[in-house]
Structure 1
Amino acid sequence: MTIKMATSNSGLNHAAKAKKDEFYTDYDVIQSEMNYYTDKFENKVVLCNCDDPFESNFAKFFLRNFNYLKLKRLICTSYSGSPVTGTQLSLFDDYNEPVTSQHGYVMDISSVPMSNGRGVTDADVTALLHSKGVVKRLKGDGDFASDECISYLKQSDIVVTNPPFSKFRSFVALLEKYQKDFLIIGNVNAMTYKEIFPLIQSNKVWLGASIHSGDREFRVPDNYPLKAAGYRVDENGIKYIRVKGVRWFTTLDYSQRHEDLILYKRYLPDEYPTYDNYEAIHVSKTADIPMDYEGLMAVPITFMDKYNPEQFEIVGEANHGSDGPLDIFKPVLNGKTKFKRILIKNRKVQHIED
């Protein structure tokens, strides 16, 4: 059942990102995923460290749902150079100077008052952000890897954000170093990065619940070059692009990932060829995984959308054959190289009598 949390109003529609390879995350995308983890946040400190703490939909979401989720604390940091700082709200920092894109800032709160006593409204959020001492200027530029922001990371329990895709490896490495739970957005191909795949294989990180296929639309800064295959400009001149293969990556468990994938096909050698250079069968689609095969199977990376660790074992990957010990071979079939695959074994092989 979907949990009804605070929804966004027209003024809270898009989260702001400053890096050129970051995109504005839609409020509904955040809420759809968060519906699966509402029991994970009670008395937790949440950090959004790749956002603008006043314009971001991550910040807006957690402000509006602070009391519903029973958060202990919310910390959001921004970095200097953001093209959106000050575009929605006129705020003043702890120096009583206007908030501008020239500085990084932090919003650090432990309570969100409700004027009507029933739920947090846009007016409540605006009033809170205008309260003295809520908006503070950082000493540095607000980069998530800076000592100043790492100090906030150390104080947090769960990191929820959309990091720059180009810095996804280093961002996850930082979270791993400090052993932080996270719920972050990345490209589906990040699963096969040599820095990320060992976490996937060892069941320390997995894909989220709400995005399983297709692409997603993100708002981009006004100066963003529209070179993507799919883009649009709305009636207000706001730019959007469609990004393929977007997924949530997380360390937070949810019940749906423990549901068995229903298998209906049986193994036939003619339908499941063996690779030229390795003893594993090629499975073209996740839905075609044979129920009765005991050996190694090379499946699409999108198999991870259906992965149940009790049903399947991830043995390794077939990518370049050289990205570390888990990259077992380069997938070559009938002399042609196939797209990267994940190597699995079925833990619940079904032996069917003819």
Structure 2
Amino acid sequence: MDLLDVEELLRHDANVITPLEGDGSFDSPESLALLSEADVVVTNPPWSLIRTFIPLLIQHGKQFLVLGDQNFITYREVFREIVANKLWFGYNNGGTKWFRVPDDYEIKTESRKKIVDGVKYFSMGRAYWFTNLDTTRRHEMLTLYKRYSPEEYPTYTNYPAIEVGKVSEIPEDYQGEMGVPITFLDKYNPAQFEIIGQSIELAEPMSRYATKEEYASKQGKVVGGTGKFFVPVGNGKHEGVYQRVVIKRIGA
């Protein structure tokens, strides 16, 4: 059903619309009363409130399909639901998605704006579908073909796991803990891997292992000693990597 079909349906079936008397906040008493009647929630929620919105849906035992930013994966309130196998991802995540916006909405990047039939849209490349509806994808085994070597997969300076820079390069023969990009969670099969945690929670302070002059981010700036994994790069130096999810193969 496209947008025009939905608008036509709303014009002819007033029972579809429930006028709200309050401010429309999702946690208001009248909204919660409507939530109690729902079977499935499908929406693009206020992203600034995602930390409370998704747990609220899970708390009320609702099935849902909601849009969110890829980086919401790293929020503790969201990540813990993924670890508990109460939340995962739908289809068609990432890529370019176009959102209808008000005429006065402006962004600087021209390539992310377009007008179609007088309607303004802007694009986002990190939009994910967060859901607890079952999918075939979360039962598919990730094909592994790489072999482990300590030269290609260094162990972090401040956590006992190896660095895997690409999901496609997870070694098939490694039995221990591995740090992988957060995009791994879009391909996560709980029958194949166990999630141990994420770097923001597991990383030990680098001050225990090196001076500030000996560790820096990829941009060359000295950074704090918590929340980030570092790998040794030679000459007593250590380099930070982006946010990582730590996993281990089931049965390993």
| Shorter-chain TM-score above 0.5 | yes
Residue 98 (structure 2) pairs with residue 217 (structure 1): yes
Aligned residues: 225
Residue 229 (structure 2) pairs with residue 331 (structure 1): yes
Alignment of 1:340-351 (within 5 A): 340-347=243-250
- Structure 2 counterpart of 1:330, which letter? K
Taking structure 1 as reference, are residues 230 and 146 closer, same or farther at Cα in structure 2, changes over 3 Å only? farther
Taking structure 1 as reference, are residues 342 and 225 closer, same or farther at Cα in structure 2, changes over 3 Å only? same
**Cα deviation per residue 1:2-47 (whole Å; 9 max; x = unaligned)?**
xxxxx427x35xxxxxxxxxxxxxxxxxxxxxxxxxxxxxxxxxxx
**Cα deviation per residue 1:200-255 (whole Å; 9 max; x = unaligned)?**
111110111232x4232212111212235742232544222121211101111122
Counterpart secondary structure, 1:144: coil
Paired position in structure 1 for 2:66: 184
Taking structure 1 as reference, are residues 179 and 134 closer, same or farther at Cα in structure 2, changes over 3 Å only? closer
Measure the CA separation in 2 of the matches of 1:144 and 1:342: 30
Taking structure 1 as reference, are residues 136 and 273 closer, same or farther at Cα in structure 2, changes over 3 Å only? closer
Taking structure 1 as reference, are residues 271 and 280 closer, same or farther at Cα in structure 2, changes over 3 Å only? same
- Structure 1 counterpart of 2:143, which letter? I
Choose which of 120, 128, 131 in structure 1 pairs with 2:12. 128
Alignment of 1:192-341 (within 5 A): 192-211=74-93, 213-228=94-109, 230-234=111-115, 236-319=117-200, 321=202, 330-334=228-232, 335-341=238-244
- Structure 2 counterpart of 1:288, which letter? E
Paired position in structure 2 for 1:101: none
For residue 338 of structure 1, report the CA deviation from its aligned partner: 1.1
For residue 336 of structure 1, report the CA deviation from its aligned partner: 1.9
- Structure 1 counterpart of 2:46, which letter? P
**Cα deviation per residue 1:164-219 (whole Å; 9 max; x = unaligned)?**
211111211221332222111111111110111111111110111232x4232212
CA contact (8 A) 2:155 2:161 kept: yes
Counterpart secondary structure, 1:196: helix
- Structure 1 counterpart of 2:12, which letter? L
CA contact (8 A) 1:228 1:241 kept: no
For residue 320 of structure 1, report the CA deviation from its aligned partner: 5.8
Give the TM-score taking structure 2 as reference length.
Answer: 0.81
Taking structure 1 as reference, are residues 273 and 222 closer, same or farther at Cα in structure 2, changes over 3 Å only? same
Taking structure 1 as reference, are residues 284 and 134 closer, same or farther at Cα in structure 2, changes over 3 Å only? closer
CA contact (8 A) 1:182 1:252 kept: yes
Paired position in structure 2 for 1:64: none
Unmatched 5+ stretches in structure 1: 1-6, 13-59, 61-88, 90-121, 323-327, 350-354
Measure the CA separation in 2 of the matches of 1:315 and 1:229: 41
**Higher share in helix:** 2
Counterpart secondary structure, 1:234: strand
> What is the aligned-residue RMSD (CA, Å)?
2.2
Taking structure 1 as reference, are residues 272 and 148 closer, same or farther at Cα in structure 2, changes over 3 Å only? same
- Structure 1 counterpart of 2:157, which letter? D
CA contact (8 A) 1:319 1:339 kept: no
CA contact (8 A) 2:159 2:202 kept: no
For residue 329 of structure 1, report the CA deviation from its aligned partner: 5.4
Paired position in structure 2 for 1:106: none
Identity %: 43
Residue 30 (structure 2) pairs with residue 148 (structure 1): yes
Measure the CA separation in 1 of the matches of 2:67 and 2:17: 26
Taking structure 1 as reference, are residues 276 and 205 closer, same or farther at Cα in structure 2, changes over 3 Å only? same
Counterpart secondary structure, 2:35: helix
Unmatched 5+ stretches in structure 2: 204-225, 233-237
For residue 148 of structure 1, report the CA deviation from its aligned partner: 0.7
Higher relative contact order (CA 8 A, sep 6+): 2
Residue 2 (structure 2) pairs with residue 8 (structure 1): yes
Paired position in structure 2 for 1:160: 42
CA contact (8 A) 2:153 2:164 kept: yes
For residue 271 of structure 1, report the CA deviation from its aligned partner: 0.4
Measure the CA separation in 1 of the matches of 2:186 and 2:114: 31
Alignment of 1:93-132 (within 5 A): 122=8, 125=9, 128-129=12-13, 131=14
Moved more, 195-204 or 222-231: 222-231
Taking structure 1 as reference, are residues 235 and 289 closer, same or farther at Cα in structure 2, changes over 3 Å only? closer
